[in-house]
Copies of this chain bind each other. A is one copy, B any other.
Amino acid sequence: MDDEVRLSNLEIINNYYVFIFQGITSLLANGVYSAAYPLHDGDYEGENVEPNDRKLLCEEWASYGVFYKYQPIDLVRKYFGEKIGLYFAWLGVYTQMLIPASIVGIIVFLYGCATVDENIPSMEMCDQRNNITMCPLCDKTCSYWKMSSACATARASHLFDNPATVFFSVFMALWAATFMEHWKRKQMRLNYRWDLTGFEEEEDHPRAEYEAKVLEKSLRKEHKHKETDKEKLTWKDRFPAYLTNFVGIIFMVGLTFAIVFGVIIYRISTAAALAISSTPSGRSSVRVTVTATAVIINLVVIIILDEVYGCIARWLTQIEVPKTDKNFEERLIFKAFLLKFVNAYTPIFYVAFFKGRFVGRPGDYVYIFHSFRMEECAPGGCLMELCIQLSIIMLGKQLIQNNLFEIGIPKMKKFIRYLKLKRRRSLDHEEHMKKKQRYEVDYNLEPFAGLTPEYMEMIIQFGFVTLFVASFPLAPLFALLNNIIEIRLDAKKFVTELRRPVAVRAKDIGKWILLLYPCLFIPGLMAGYCYAFVISFTSDFIPRLVYLYMYSENGTMHGFVNHTLSSFNVSDFQAGTAPNDPLDLGYEVQICRYKDYREPPWSENKYDISKDFWAVLAARLAFVIVFQNLVMFMSEFVDWIIPDIPKDISQQIHKEKVLMVEVFMREEQGKLQMLETWKDKDKRKGENCNNHSPRLSRSRSGSLSSCHSYPLDV
């Protein structure tokens, strides 16, 4: 009698929910309804507002006044669901972890400031007596210049290029590893507190677009073959979409590269143009002007392309027709991340690893398009420029995106909606009279668009903080300041500006952790590499060490600047490239110097790459190997030494498991015993029953008579 398959209560509820949800989705898609959303708890401001969760959140969370307090994560979870709760918890942990990083960063920066006057190389560069004549920075129009004129740059670059930077890189690698472990533990703790430990994500239902496409395909096919199998989209159906995706992404990456390349050309040509027109005194500020304007162009392009790429990524994902919502999100994240990463980091990677490396040498420069000479780094090393680039892009991006896109545009949208409403209101006065319903008030809010942009912003910022921290020790501080605002800004947005999102359960932050990994954990992939290469190739750390241990005569850095400069005989200039105005400095120049390791003009193989070059290169590569592996091992070590599950939680879970088994056993035993007793009683009473009405009990014995049934023998 129990053989028919029944749906359990749980299943019924579940299916019912899915039915409703799916139904609403298609009604929304067909435009029957214009929106569907859960209602907010009530108003968050006003005089006669009853206390509610929204008001509480607004006061205790979404306010800049409480920036120093922990977030009320449990209340956030209660109000918005686990997924959004986890986002804010993650943001909180990240911000909290930025505090020690900022402190160490400030100390490193202060160390740089304090030792700037003791730094022998920059002292030598600033020393007027050394009187080093440098080769011109551009053909014809530029003249020779004195090393001491780059004194300010040299001193400034010491702030970021000193031994403490190496220590700070190691520290930040460890910090990143610790952060990941700390977050895993926090997540486990939250999972336990929010009762998600046993929760497994269910399989998603296909998206409406996918179903439509499948239907269309099966109709088309039926038309031809009359096959009515369950259809699904194959690789063949998706090929055009994949091709579009591939081409689109390649095109956009190419576009980014082209823009960066364009900015380089801009920089080269403007520098040359400015050098002609400016007065000699203003010539020293040329470099700064050009660098700054170029970075600002870069920044504006990055911010615009960021938005454009976001839309394109969404469109590309839509034409792919992914099967489920989860699939959709994953693909979108991948594409958006790829594009935005390339967009934000290309100019920085260029400055860090390529700028000034393919310059050639005086008399044999490398030209682009046969007319633009490749740009060189400032005499203090490219690290200074990397630092400017990084700080402007990072700060500018944060400020503009936060202010414009997260405050300005929503405010504007709200204002437009308000205007529209006002116009309508003036049309029908009656509606204005009665108090508006909750759903009407909420309808005026922005719909919730998913957490993807929020996470994306943070991941890109995380990249700035971890990847290039070697060149900019204040990055964690700026990130910290930004995030303190960001948390409250996002909170405000969620509480006051957005319709209440549908609560979604989630056990972890999903794919995002995977995007944090490549920045950190495929060991050595990004952080290890970046630190190692920035320190060894962009900074002057290794050449200095090599000089100190191989060449220095008295064990000090005296003579280092001279050692890094090669000599060039001005008579070897190619025709038409020598400066037009060689007597600019007031004396005739015969030998000018340039930054490279090459043989002097009086050597047998003049201007060939010298032995020093290879020695320094070997030292740099050796440093990369040692450093990369050191970072990798330490990260692995941190990963290994900090357990993923906090001990108290794992003990608690174990205890509960044991307890549950015990309770279950006892209950089962209780049931059995009860039924046993019953059976006994029943038998005994059966005799009574028999006495009482023997015919009845016999006839019913097949269908569970109370006298002769052994219910647990099913």
Contact = CB atoms under 8 A, between A and B. Distances in A.
Interface of A: 2, 5-6, 8, 522-524, 610-611, 614-615, 617-618, 621-622, 624-625, 628-629, 632, 636, 662, 665-667, 669-671, 673-675, 677-678, 681-682, 685, 688-689, 692-693, 704-706, 709, 711-712, 714
A670 B636 CA distance: 53
A711 B675 contact: yes
Contacts of A524: 523-524, 629, 632
B621 A8 contact: no
B692 A678 contact: no
Contact of A621 (B523, B625, B705, B714): B625
A670 B624 contact: no
Contacts of A670: 2, 714
Given A523-B523, A671-B711, 19 more contacts: A2-B666, A2-B670, A6-B669, A523-B632, A524-B629, A611-B611, A614-B617, A617-B618, A621-B622, A621-B624, A667-B714, A671-B671, A671-B712, A674-B704, A674-B711, A681-B705, A681-B706, A682-B706, A688-B693
Contact of A611 (B614, B669, B693, B714): B614
A629 B625 CA distance: 10
A704 B681 contact: yes
Contacts of A677: 704
Contact of A673 (B2, B523, B666, B705): B2
Contacts of A693: 688
Contacts of A685: 689, 706
9 contacts: A5-B666, A8-B669, A523-B632, A524-B524, A614-B614, A618-B621, A671-B714, A674-B711, A678-B706
Nearest to A705: B681
Contacts of A8: 665, 669
Top-6 shortest CB links A-B: A614-B614, A621-B621, A681-B706, A611-B611, A2-B670, A674-B711
Nearest to A680: B706
A305 B437 CA distance: 87
Contacts of A611: 610-611, 614
A474 to B, nearest CB: 30
A678 B709 contact: yes
Contacts of A711: 671, 674-675, 678
Contacts of A632: 523-524
Nearest to A7: B665
A651 to B, nearest CB: 12
